[in-house]
């Protein structure tokens, strides 16, 4: 199960005291975070209050002040120090409830290692990369890493390693992001602009009046940046998660050790969809209650958090049991699916074999039909050739018979003429001459027959 990272974003304004009690200036708040000496002349008009936080904050591990990337040399010169930035912004913001920026507090419990220096170095790297990511968007970034174990200078490395596993381990960072955009030359720009809200081309009257007695009309505000919006928060958590997970994996962590930046409400919404028990949310102890708990004195908030932690542990244990059952069920389903797939594969092979056999049978049948058709064509061709040959023979015989008949007819016609000639001669000559002529005729006929 992923590790839930505690982080919180809050607005910094003059109406919310920061640092020492009653301090409402950005200068005092930032100097309190980075543990520096400050002369604050913005809290009370006409009065300068000096405070030295260097001796009061002994839990400081690292600090940093990052300028926006788009500033040129002139702009960087104006904001060389954190005090110069704070004083410039305090002079620009004139409203008593002006938004001075936003602060993210993020915990490094998921990065804890047995090596103290390595843990600190990982926390510094992650915080510096987050600051660089925000500076690329045009924001001023101030960060400070605190470790409450530093409050006692006599803590040794062994004690630190022992305290890592306790609930009191609280290595965290405060990251301040500016809210007002700035030009590349170091000139402050407007955070937002407003224009009248029009309905059917006319301004909408709110029913109220301004301080000068004029009517108040509805306006819509157009932000010039998306800093602090839900979209920006999602991009921030995505960037922070990527950096945290890279460190965890580089230190030999597992997939289950990766981070989860969602709130308890968001996690419970997902758990509800999965049918799991919801997790309870712990209360923020605060400095006083945390000190009492650390010294061994139990508080009501601490008892509540311990009960919540116990209930959440039971819920997570129940989740693990359900997860185990789900994995077993999943394994059974996978085995069943595997068997079904094997059966399906065998059935597909059988059907494929039948299909191939049917294709082969059809091919053989088609070949047989083609052979029959070819035989028929060959027989028909031979029959046609025989008929043609017989016809030619018949024509030849018929032609030869016709020629013979014509010759016979010619011979008969000649004989008939000869007979008629003989008859005419017989009537004109005597018997003796006729007999001689008949002998000659008989001889001629015998010669003709012989021929």
**Phi and psi angles of residue 263, each rounded to the nearest 5 degrees, phi first:** -75, 165
3-state secondary structure of 185: coil
Beta carbons within 10 angstroms of residue 367's beta carbon: 10
Query: What token pair was written down for 307?
Result: 């009960």
Check residue 444 and give its pLDDT. Answer: 61
CA-CA-CA-CA torsion sign (235, 239, 244, 249): positive
Quick check: 151 and 39 in contact, CB under 8 A?
no
Q: Would you give per-residue pLDDT tens digits along the chain (451 residues)?
A: 567 777 888 888 875 544 444 445 777 788 788 877 767 666 656 666 676 677 667 778 889 999 999 999 988 888 988 888 888 888 888 787 788 899 999 988 887 776 778 888 888 999 999 999 999 999 999 999 988 765 444 444 334 443 444 444 678 899 999 999 999 998 999 888 877 777 777 787 777 877 777 878 787 878 888 888 888 988 998 999 898 888 888 888 777 677 778 888 888 888 888 888 888 888 877 778 877 887 888 888 889 988 988 998 888 888 888 888 888 998 999 999 999 999 999 999 999 999 999 999 999 999 999 999 999 999 998 988 888 888 888 888 878 877 777 777 787 787 777 777 766 766 665 666 666 666 766 766 665 555 4
Residue 31 contacts by C-beta under 8 Å, 6 or more apart in sequence?
19, 37, 38, 51, 53, 82, 83, 86
DSSP letter for 431, please: H
Closest CA to 257 of 239, 238, 267, 244: 244
Please state at what angle helix 286-294 crosses helix 300-428, rounded to 10 degrees. Answer: 110
Quick check: 41 and 24 in contact, CB under 8 A?
no
pTM assigned to the model: 0.64
Closest CA to 94 of 141, 45, 29, 33: 45
DSSP letter for 179, please: -
Adjacent-strand bridge partners of 203: 198
Residues in the chain: 451
Residue 12 contacts by C-beta under 8 Å, 6 or more apart in sequence?
18, 26, 29, 99, 100, 101, 102, 103, 176
Quick check: 86 and 178 in contact, CB under 8 A?
no
Quick check: 255 and 265 in contact, CB under 8 A?
no
Closest CA to 280 of 311, 303, 302: 311
What is the distance between the alpha carbons of residues 150 and 148, in angstroms, rounded to a whole number? 5
| Runs of H (alpha helix) within 193-229 | none
**Phi and psi angles of residue 16, each rounded to the nearest 5 degrees, phi first:** -120, 110
- Which tens digit of pLDDT belongs to each residue from 141-194? 999 998 876 544 444 433 444 344 444 467 889 999 999 999 999 899 988 887
3-state secondary structure of 199: strand
H helices then E strands: how many in the chain? 10, 15
Quick check: 236 and 262 in contact, CB under 8 A?
no
Please state at what angle helix 82-92 crosses helix 26-34, rounded to 10 degrees. Answer: 160
Classify residue 71 as left (phi > 0), alpha (psi -120 to 50) or beta: beta
What is the distance between the alpha carbons of residues 135 and 35, in angstroms, rounded to a whole number? 22
């Amino acid at each position: 199960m992923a590790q839930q990272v505690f982080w919180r974003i809050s607005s910094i304004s003059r109406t919310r005291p920061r640092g020492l009690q009653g301090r409402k200036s950005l200068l005092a708040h930032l100097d309190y975070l980075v543990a520096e000496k400050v002369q604050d002349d913005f809290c009370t008009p006409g009065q300068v209050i000096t405070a030295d936080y260097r001796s009061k904050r002994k839990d400081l591990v690292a600090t940093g002040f990052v300028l926006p990337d788009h500033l040129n040399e002139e702009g960087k010169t104006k904001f060389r120090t954190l005090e110069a930035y704070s004083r410039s912004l305090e002079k620009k913001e004139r409203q008593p409830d002006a938004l001075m920026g936003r602060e993210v507090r993020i915990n490094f419990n998921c990065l804890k290692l047995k090596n103290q220096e390595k843990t600190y170095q990982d926390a510094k790297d992650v915080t510096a990369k987050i600051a660089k990511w925000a500076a690329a968007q045009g924001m001023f970034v101030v960060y400070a890493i605190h470790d409450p174990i530093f409050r006692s200078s006599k803590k040794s490395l062994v004690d630190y390693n022992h305290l890592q596993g306790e609930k009191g381990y609280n290595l965290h960072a405060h990251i301040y992001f500016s809210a007002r955009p700035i030009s590349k030359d170091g000139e402050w720009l407007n955070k937002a602009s407003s224009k009248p809200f029009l309905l059917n081309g006319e301004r909408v009257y709110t029913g109220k009046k301004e301080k000068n007695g004029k009517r108040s009309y509805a306006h819509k505000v157009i932000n010039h940046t998306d800093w602090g919006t839900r979209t920006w928060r999602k991009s921030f958590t995505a960037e922070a998660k990527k950096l945290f997970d890279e460190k965890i994996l580089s230190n030999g962590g597992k997939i289950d050790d990766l981070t989860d930046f969602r709130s308890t409400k968001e996690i419970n919404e997902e758990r509800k969809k999965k049918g799991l028990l919801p997790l309870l949310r712990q209360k923020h102890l605060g400095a006083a209650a945390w000190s009492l708990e650390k010294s061994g004195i139990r508080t009501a908030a601490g008892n509540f958090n311990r009960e919540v932690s116990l209930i959440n542990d039971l819920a997570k244990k129940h989740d693990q049991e359900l997860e185990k059952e789900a994995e077993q069920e999943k394994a059974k389903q996978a085995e069943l699916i595997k068997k079904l797939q094997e059966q399906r594969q065998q059935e597909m092979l059988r059907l494929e074999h039948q299909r191939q056999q049917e294709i082969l049978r059809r091919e053989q049948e088609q070949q047989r039909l083609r052979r029959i058709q070819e035989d028929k064509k060959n027989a028909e061709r031979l029959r046609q050739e025989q008929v043609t040959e017989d016809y030619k023979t018949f024509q030849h015989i018929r032609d030869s018979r016709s020629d013979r008949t014509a010759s016979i007819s010619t011979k008969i016609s000649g004989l008939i003429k000869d007979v008629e000639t003989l008859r005419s001669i017989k009537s004109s000559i005597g018997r003796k001459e006729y007999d001689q002529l008949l002998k000659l005729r008989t001889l001629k006929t015998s010669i003709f027959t012989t021929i």
